[in-house]
Each structure stands twice: as structure tokens, then as C-alpha cells.
Amino acid sequence: QQQVKQSPQSLIVQKGGISIINCAYENTAFDYFPWYQQFPGKGPALLIAIRPDVSEKKEGRFTISFNKSAKQFSLHIMDSQPGDSATYFCAATTSGTYKYIFGTGTRLKVLA
């Protein structure tokens, strides 16, 4: 019940295309869902985050879509660029705790 399932494991997209990464959770107590971006040799960095009271959040080319009833959320990268090539992690946590559950990661490669 504590898991966050992330798919796909890897993704190859052409430059200018849309990258979509999906996550699903079971624990309905989760109320904060961040996405992290990690480049090789670096620590993860927060990309964008959403709370379940909104269905979508957009920051530049990055959008989170949230479906509370389906217990799913996804990251969309519009106009994908080679510089977006990285590993992406979704995560979830609950108010009042600082216990984070991460997905297993998606390795994205954007072809020039």
C-alpha cells in the first residue's frame, strides 16, 4: 500500500515530441506528489510538485496531471529537448510526516 508504481522504466522520444511518465499509488493518505529530475553523477532536483486539490499544474514545458479517483498522476514534457535527457522520479508523501515514497525511476532519452 505504500508503493508508488512508475512506468515506463525507459523512454526514447524524438526532439520536439511529448514525453509522458506515469505513476500510480494506493495510499489515499498521500497528499503531496513531487517529481524529481536527476542527471548522471548528480543528486535529484525538484522539478515540479502537485497537491491533490488540483488536477493539473504547469511550469514551462512541464505539466503534472493528477487523477485523484484513479490514484494516478503523470508528468508531461512538451517539446522535449536533448537537455531533458535524465532520469525522472515521482514521489509521494503525507502531511504530518516526512516519509517519502519514490517511484523506481524513468530513464528518458531525447534524440536530437
Binding-site size for another protein (CB under 8 A) equals 23
Q: How far is the CB of 85 from another protein (least distance, A)?
A: 18
Pick from 12, 18, 29, 45: which binds another protein (CB under 8 A)? 45
Q: How far is the CB of 46 from another protein (least distance, A)?
A: 5
Phi and psi torsions of 83, nearest 5°:
-70, -10
Q: How far is the CB of 80 from another protein (least distance, A)?
A: 22
Set of cell numbers at residue 83 = 537537455
Residue 44 binds to another protein (criterion: CB under 8 A): yes
Quickly count: other Cβ atoms within 10 Å of residue 42's Cβ: 10
Residues at the contact surface with another protein, assessed by CB under 8 A: 2, 6, 9, 32, 34, 41-46, 89, 91, 93, 95, 98-105
